[in-house]
Amino acid sequence: MDYKTLKSIIEGLLFLSGDEGLSVRQIAEITEQRPDLATRALEELKEEYVSQERGLQVVQIAGNYRLATLPDHAPYFERLAYSPARSSLSQAALETLAIVAYRQPITRVEIEEIRGVKSERAIHTLNNKDLIHEVGRAEAVGRPILYGTTKSFLDSFGLASLKELPEPSNFDASDSLEEETQLLFNKLDSQMSFDDVDVEQ
């Protein structure tokens, strides 16, 4: 592949990797390129984001590269987080929240294995709404983030503790996600009017 294409692919990989990011070694393996070439492409991409005054930046945290927003733009992100739309939950977000609530602590990869689809956006949404947060790192390759629910989650659903979560009748692997999601939906519906929370189905 040509160098321009490599940088474009790396940009997409960083976007998909989300908060976990990717190491140079991972990027080199995925793109089938030498590590030194992957490093050069990463650094150039990082410089381009700065020189073009883009709304994102490439940062390196704990050895992994990831895309991040700019600190100077934080006030605008706060307005988004606390806008009226903040209270809405999509079906994807509600499914993801049900998985985290019932099976925490859990990694993004495990969530995606249960849902069968990518869940990065749903996790990001739930994290921004302070319904889930990072509770640690799994003892696995890459030390993936473990997610759990927050105190705000308990408050939103009128729960004193996780022990008060509605219990699914059966934890059958084939239909437990649907049941867990419906139980959580019912709990949310019983705690808040739709004037307060608009849950899309």
Domain boundaries, the chain: 3-72, 83-191
Of 37, 41, 32, which Cα lies nearest the Cα of 10? 41
Q: Specify which residues 22 forms β-bridges with.
A: 65
Confidence of residue 187 (pLDDT cuts 50, 70, 90): low
Does 3-72 match 83-191 in CATH topology? yes
Confidence of residue 78 (pLDDT cuts 50, 70, 90): confident
* Reported CATH class of domain 83-191: mainly alpha
Q: How far is CA 65 from the centre of its chain?
A: 16
Q: What is the CATH topology of the domain spanning 3-72?
A: Arc Repressor Mutant, subunit A (1.10.10)
Question: How far is Cα 106 from Cα 6, in angstroms, rounded to an integer?
Answer: 32
The confidence score (pLDDT) of residue 22 equals: 93
The confidence score (pLDDT) of residue 193 equals: 41
Q: How does pLDDT run across 92-126, given as a tens digit for each residue?
A: 888 899 899 989 999 999 999 988 889 999 999 89
Q: How does pLDDT run across 30-59, given as a tens digit for each residue?
A: 999 999 999 999 999 999 999 999 999 999
Q: Which amino acid is at 73?
A: H
Positive/negative CA dihedral, 134, 136, 142, 144:
negative
Yes or no: say if 158 and 196 are a contact pair by the CB < 8 Å rule.
Answer: no
Angle at 165 between CA 163 and CA 171, to 5 degrees: 100
DSSP β-ladder status, 132-137 and 56-61: unpaired
